[in-house]
A and B are shown apart, each in its own frame.
Chain A
Amino acid sequence: MLILSETEWSALKLSLLLAGGAALVTLPPGVLLGWLLARRQFPYKLLVEILVFLPLVTPPVVTGYIILIFCGRHGWLGKPLLDGFGLQMVFAWPGMLLAAAASGFPLLVRSVRTAIEGVDVRLEQAAATLGFPPWRVFWRITLPLAWPGVLAGSVLCFARAVGEFGATRVVGMNTDGHRTLPLEIYYQIDAPDGTGVELLRLVLLSLLLSAGALCLCEFLLRRKNRGSTP
């Protein structure tokens, strides 16, 4: 019961790799965007916000379709990548990574934004009077104080990426050994000869991963509250 089969192992590994990769890839732009949204006013800010948070509410299949259009063999991003670097986006891991990243990104940005808004601007002012240029204020004051919230956002992004199904279904490889955990579950449900035990194992695994991520998230956010400024 507890020993995973070959396909299940590869599904778990692929899911963790893709979600971990998505969390890593989204961190720098997520922090930058979260900071911009929290601290700066700029033209078309609302438009940027809508674009960033769109994947949170659009059907994932639509996200997948958009990736397919832009990154496909003849898409305006996919064609130069394929011709120039031989990098195939869709029906390969880069497309799946993109799908995972797009699904988790809004959660990360939202979390970073809240965390940075929670950092007292007055501390940043104080740092400026001590001679800190703006980038140093960000690195030494804002980011360290917002860090637990940023990390929590990254964990959320990871958890959401693990659960990505719709877009991955569209741009993924969908062959044996190249399916993510949710896709594998879907295939097992669909398969006529699927056994109940295997399915149950995958479902439990999936629940465990999500619960673990949420636990970590909660832990990080509590730590932040404890260390907050008076």
Chain B
Amino acid sequence: MIEARCRVERGALRLDVELVSAAPVIGIFGPSGSGKTSVLYAIAGLLRPTSGAIAVDGVLTDDPINDLQLPPHRRQIGFVFQENRLFPHWTVAQNLLAGYRLRKARAARMPLEAAIALLDLEPLLDRIPDSLSGGEQRRVAIARALLTSPRLLILDEPLTGLDARLRDSLLHYLQRLTQQLAVQILYVSHTLGDFLTLANVAAVVRDGTCRLIGSPEQLLDLYAGSAAETMEATLCGYVTAPGPDPGLMEVGLGRATVMTVGPALPRGTPVRLTLAASQVLLALPPLPALSIRNRLPARIVALHPTGGHALVALDMDGQRLFADVTLAAVRELALRPGLDVIACFKARAARLTAPASMSAAVDDIAQSGQQIQSSSAELSNLAERLKTLVGQFKV
């Protein structure tokens, strides 16, 4: 539970912050340079608010009236910085242990092995931070912060500065995080797409304020104009069959299946499809003959008109999908919330990612199968991996 009602000043920046929420994942949205990071710094104790108070989990951390400012090291707030800030003179393992050793014994929420497994850090443990890729560094930074058993985990633009592939796979890790952890997460972004995938509650920084506005979907009303072109949705599914032709693959998404382009993966591999709103077209049944392979039955949740366009939010068996259509199309098809439509996209339009961990786990299981009698330790290890796999299958 975070309660921040304060004023933050830094250079020319003046920001009135009102952020009170117990939601598991709070997203703060705002354009670059709007002062999002300053809000995070104030909450973490790295920047002193000029007035007002901040409390985390009912513990006051800032209260200028009583001259209280808890120093950052006593706040138990995990912070994943934009630049990761791994200690260059230590290995990944040493970085992970840095805060883990110092946490209070009673706060032992996150075992070391769990964090390493959650973020797939096992192969990186002996490496030096400088030798890691941006995405790997980010994962280490997240695990390092988690291992302090924080009362609040702050992620400052965790997906910025990574290429599309890394973004998709890290998004998967973050989703896993938000599903499996009891810790509240405060998350900052300036891209709407990943924001909608992760956050339960949204706050917006604009006009000198930082305020909660409710569900992330409501952001679309505010920002659909700037976001419509770049809006992406992420769909979770698994490989159901190799495609009819080489290079194609059939992916099951709930009741429907779609065809995508991608590497040959074994049947059952969990995958994610990233789909830009501009690549989706909407149709009303009955469909004429189309070259487009993928036709998903979906229901319109909301319409966000902007300029000559409208961003249409769709629900497909509980998964969110976006389509960017013209206002003329909205009128002609009489698109409105609640209407059942068919969302179509070309096989080539979706970006497919199979998280490395998952394909690795599948390989591991295939290998383990051959040596299954060798030791009981391995058996329990396998059971553990199977359990995580099953967890990942819940799409």
Assess the A131–B81 pair: CB atoms within 8 A.
no
Minimal beta-carbon separation of A191 from chain B (angstroms)? 53
**Chain B contacts for A128, CB-based, 8 A:** 45-46, 71-73
Assess the B89–A122 pair: CB atoms within 8 A.
no
Assess the A227–B85 pair: CB atoms within 8 A.
no
- Does A141 lie at the interface of the complex (its beta carbon under 8 Å from any beta carbon of B)? yes
> Which A184-230 residues sit within 8 Å CB-CB of chain B?
227-230
- Does A84 lie at the interface of the complex (its beta carbon under 8 Å from any beta carbon of B)? no
**Chain A contacts for B87, CB-based, 8 A:** 123, 126-127, 141
Minimal beta-carbon separation of A165 from chain B (angstroms)? 39
Assess the A130–B98 pair: CB atoms within 8 A.
yes
Query: Quick one: closest A residue to B81, CB to CB?
Result: A126
**Chain B contacts for A145, CB-based, 8 A:** 88-89
Assess the A129–B79 pair: CB atoms within 8 A.
yes
> Which A98-139 residues sit within 8 Å CB-CB of chain B?
120, 122-123, 125-134, 136-137
- Does B99 lie at the interface of the complex (its beta carbon under 8 Å from any beta carbon of A)? yes
Assess the A123–B103 pair: CB atoms within 8 A.
no
| Known contacts A145-B89, A227-B88; is-contact A131 B102 (Cβ 8 Å) | yes
Task: Report the separation of the CA atoms of residues A122 and B103 in the bound assembly, to the nearest whole angstrom.
Answer: 21
From A120, A127, A129, A137, name the one whose CB has the most chain B CB atoms within 10 angstroms: A129
Assess the B76–A126 pair: CB atoms within 8 A.
no
- Does B24 lie at the interface of the complex (its beta carbon under 8 Å from any beta carbon of A)? no
Query: Quick one: closest B residue to A132, CB to CB?
Result: B73
- Does B78 lie at the interface of the complex (its beta carbon under 8 Å from any beta carbon of A)? yes
Bin the interface of chain B by size.
Answer: 20 to 34
**Chain A contacts for B73, CB-based, 8 A:** 127-134, 137
Query: Quick one: closest A residue to B41, CB to CB?
Result: A125
Minimal beta-carbon separation of B26 from chain A (angstroms)? 18
Assess the A229–B144 pair: CB atoms within 8 A.
no
Pick from B46, B76, B85, B88: contact of A131, CB under 8 Å: B76
Assess the A227–B89 pair: CB atoms within 8 A.
yes
Assess the B88–A130 pair: CB atoms within 8 A.
no
Pick from B44, B45, B102: contact of A132, CB under 8 Å: B102
> Which A116-174 residues sit within 8 Å CB-CB of chain B?
120, 122-123, 125-134, 136-137, 140-141, 144-145
Query: Quick one: closest A residue to B76, CB to CB?
Result: A131
Assess the A130–B83 pair: CB atoms within 8 A.
no
**Known contacts A123-B85, A131-B148, A134-B73, then 5 further A-B pairs from the complex at CB < 8 Å, ordered by chain A residue:** A128-B46, A129-B45, A129-B78, A132-B99, A228-B88
A-B pairs, top 8 by smallest CB distance, nearest first, are A130-B99, A126-B85, A128-B72, A129-B79, A131-B102, A128-B73, A229-B88, A131-B73
Seen from chain B, the residues whose Cβ lies within 8 Å of a Cβ on chain A are: 44-46, 71-79, 81, 83, 85, 87-89, 98-99, 102-103, 130, 144-145, 148
